Amino acid sequence: MRNLRVPDPHATWTEDDGRAALEAWRASGDSLAVFARRERLDVQRLYWWKRRLGWNAPHPALASLTVVPATVIDTAVPLTGITIRLPNGLAIEVADASPAWVAAVVAELARAA
């Protein structure tokens, strides 16, 4: 089912249409390519509107992201789960996370910020 907030892919878009499409994309949580494919939009059109509207800055939720130092208390206890809390209140919970995976996720979040 098409997202009704996304403008007609065959019409000429106004600035408001471009902004609406980008807002729908951000709200979806998908990559731009996945969103465009699902909504049957030309991904290049979305990239064009991103540049035109100055949306190349990081997402606001990522802009305020900070990495807080953590201390390992006991290495004898295996890491069975982890919760990563983002500044916007979103929590990512993972069971059986390896320390290498956690490090990769934190590095990626820090890079995105």
Which among 15-19, 91-95, 103-107 has the top mean pLDDT? Answer: 15-19
* Domain extent listing, the chain: 1-56, 60-112
pLDDT over 80 (residue 108): no
Residue-level pLDDT at 18: 92
pLDDT in tens, 24-83: 988 888 888 999 999 999 999 999 999 999 887 655 555 556 666 666 665 555 566 777
**51 is written with which tokens?**
């540049």
What is the pTM for the complete model shown?
Answer: 0.49
Give the residue among 96, 92, 93 at the shortest CA–CA distance from 78: 96
Residue-level pLDDT at 1: 37
Residue-level pLDDT at 71: 62
Residue-level pLDDT at 49: 93
Q: DSSP assignment of 31-61, as one string?
A: -HHHHHHHHT--HHHHHHHHHHTTTTSPPHH
Residue-level pLDDT at 82: 73
